[in-house]
Structure 1
């Protein structure tokens, strides 16, 4: 590969990574019905089921981050295993109804990957930290799927930041601003 081809390849890789990072915006909700997950007093009207699925991120960290939010909102987080996550679209209303008229299931998939700065050399760049969150809202009595949403985000980590946890925390908060906008604006968050 000559020098000019190497420069074109590096330019292509940088542009492609830029496009990927710019696509880290939220995907729109896919449902016609409106769901009021929080009462007028701000109290949750749902029970919450979280499945963290990742090959590169310790899900205990993510579960603790969601736990802080749940504690602030007087809500219980029911964690499910990755095996159970595959069944989340099934009727979650089986069993006792608790937490109001809705059950919210979240399959939260955080990932962290090293990105090579160049295909020519073996140099590694800063890690790319991302998440994809699939949310389903079910009627807690009938088990009928009412609403389905997907959000995602990617951030290129700064090597000088000193770890991935601040990025993981920021991404959980990014997700929560969609699910619970009032919490995202509160001074305690």
Structure 2
């Protein structure tokens, strides 16, 4: 759910994320400086699907269907041992990432009108964005600062539906995975 400018987030946009609270000590300060989604209220996370349906469409029926789809998958553990990059972006790479990819695929199959990344990219690459829209020198500095905080592990037990209210991102619902 990263963007170069928080003003590009639109009221009513939604996204599905898995929170990674174990990342906060390592990434909070960097994300507040270099990730507009953090400044807009999104915690450290790996995106499952963004954008999802407009908030006006995420009614009780959609939430019930999300609960069923997500609840059919088991909770799982992730490790974060390394960084990765896209152009201008530094991220932490979750391992293994197969279950995250599968969650994205099954939700996108159920709601084909909400393709991952708005259909911009064909490959699903699960990641925890730390910095967005920066040059390589800044990304190098951040990566060097992060290396001492790795590795760490996280248990993924839920997927959260986040909604942008025009000012900030807020959690609308949380859907548990099976234990």
TM-score for both structures, normalised by structure 1: 0.28
Largest Rg, 1 or 2: 1
Structure ranking higher in helix proportion: 2
Greater RCO, CA 8 A, separation 6+: 2
